[in-house]
Chains A and B, each alone.
Chain A
Amino acid sequence: MSARYDRAITVFSPDGHLFQVEYALEAVRKGTLAVGVRGKDTIVLGVEKKAAAKLQDARTVRKIVKIDEHICLAFAGLTADARVLVNRARMEAQSYRLTLDEQVSVDHITKYIAGVQQKYTQSGGVRPFGISTLIVGFDPAGAPQLYQTDPSGIHSAWKATAIGRNSKTIREFLEKNYIETSGKDTVKLAIKALLETVEAGSKSIEVAVMDKEHGLRVWTDEEVDALVKEVEAEKAAAEASKRGGAGQAGAV
């Protein structure tokens, strides 16, 4: 009888916690890393690629997805939950287009996704979605936007953020090193952040860049490798000069 399954699973604890939501956040923390960086005219999503099984076709595992032509989403957490939420977002984007003859704004679709996530913390017989999302796109005025949602239904805009495994470390790195960048420098910043905890190379990193002219573009393995090499060379040069300078100071 359905009466049995209408009771809520997400209920308050005596000290005001929603444990199911907190456990969902734990699931997110176990997911592979996703980093988002907003520049002056570019937005970059970088994700950690999970090591694919030998016989698996790696191209069918997508962590960066299109919601509409101008909006893109990356997630961390339960992939199947993400599939369902992304589907709802896509339908909402087209429905908006049909009703208002306009493309949906990043802000609107973020509120929508966050709203769906919140609903599942307050409904009978369902559990919260085990994912946090990073949503990127350009607002109608042409400014780049980066939003984050999480299982509780919170949503907020960020200049740069990370979700998933080791996200706390990456966010601290970003807080220390964030500057307003544009174009390739934004991508470099995202990759630098990823490299703090992810192995270097296109085998473990996937990068998608969104800018005004080209829309969303997922970088090829070669392009990722080339930029990773650049970033590592810069890091090595910086360390060498530091060491060289310290050496000189020591000598004096």
Chain B
Amino acid sequence: MDYLMGVKGPDFVMICSDSAASHSIISIKKDEDKLIPIDSNKLFGVAGEAGDRVNFSEYIIANVKLYALRNNTELSTKAVANFTRGELAKALRKAPYHCHLLLGGYDKSTGPSLYWMDYLGTLTKLNTGGTGYGSMFVLSLFDKLWHPNLTEAEGLDMMKQGIAEVKRRLVTAPSNYIIKIIDANGIRIVKNWDQDV
């Protein structure tokens, strides 16, 4: 089961996902990147049905790109979130996309934002959010640790604690995780976060 967690600070958004791709009891790959960049300062964390994950996120990314080329301007994170939710809602009563998404982005004018979406077309803006069985163990922990002036180091520490908790308590916990951070400089992968876990 996919694990996605996101945390927003005053000047960054950090999103973590597991990197396992499996088919029932078989592990296909352990380095699947489920944190997909939409453009230089937004990314989707996508969890759920494998085909829908890729199909849906690629569809959204192509449309975001088309908008940017047509109008010579990039969409804001809020606009992308609402567009994505709209597509999920449209598809719901025809051929639903079975995926949950976390959208993290940094806009020059409004700063960082984190949005949570599910396959029913729910959209909500959050400070901390996540999907999957793992998130059940971690949401209340994050509620305790989060505060409005979170630093990047504290955010990373929250992620590490969350991952440790999942590994401790979830029977089928994934073994590998990826953490990405978005700030004014764009998107980057947090390397070697697991060296001292």
Contacts and interface: CB of A to CB of B under 8 A. Distances in A.
A90 interface: yes
Contacts, number: 21
A67 B72 CA distance: 11
A98 B70 contact: no
B114 to A, nearest CB: 26
Give the one of B65, B69, B70 with max A CB within 10 A.
Answer: B69
Contacts of A87: 70
Contacts of B65: 94, 97
Contacts of A26: none
B69 A98 contact: no
B70 A90 contact: yes
A90 B64 CA distance: 12
B62 interface: yes
A87 B58 CA distance: 20
B193 interface: no
A93 B65 CA distance: 10
Contacts of B59: 98
A100 to B, nearest CB: 11
Interface string A83-110: 0000100110111011001000000000
Nearest to B54: A101
Interface residues of B, number: 8
Interface string B29-61: 000000000000000000000000000001100
B41 to A, nearest CB: 16
B22 interface: no
A67 B69 contact: yes
B66 interface: yes
A80 to B, nearest CB: 15
Contacts of A66: 69
B63 interface: yes
A98 B63 CA distance: 9
A95 B61 CA distance: 11
A68 interface: yes
A89 to B, nearest CB: 10
A66 B70 CA distance: 9
Contacts of A90: 66, 69-70
Given A68-B69, A94-B63, 18 more contacts: A66-B69, A67-B69, A87-B70, A90-B66, A90-B69, A90-B70, A91-B66, A93-B69, A94-B62, A94-B65, A94-B66, A94-B69, A97-B62, A97-B65, A98-B58, A98-B59, A98-B62, A101-B58
Interface of B: 58-59, 62-63, 65-66, 69-70
Interface of A: 66-68, 87, 90-91, 93-95, 97-98, 101
Instruction: List the 8 shortest-distance A-B pairs measured between CB atoms, nearest first.
Output: A98-B62, A94-B62, A94-B66, A90-B69, A94-B65, A66-B69, A98-B58, A97-B62
21 contacts: A66-B69, A67-B69, A68-B69, A87-B70, A90-B66, A90-B69, A90-B70, A91-B66, A93-B69, A94-B62, A94-B63, A94-B65, A94-B66, A94-B69, A95-B62, A97-B62, A97-B65, A98-B58, A98-B59, A98-B62, A101-B58
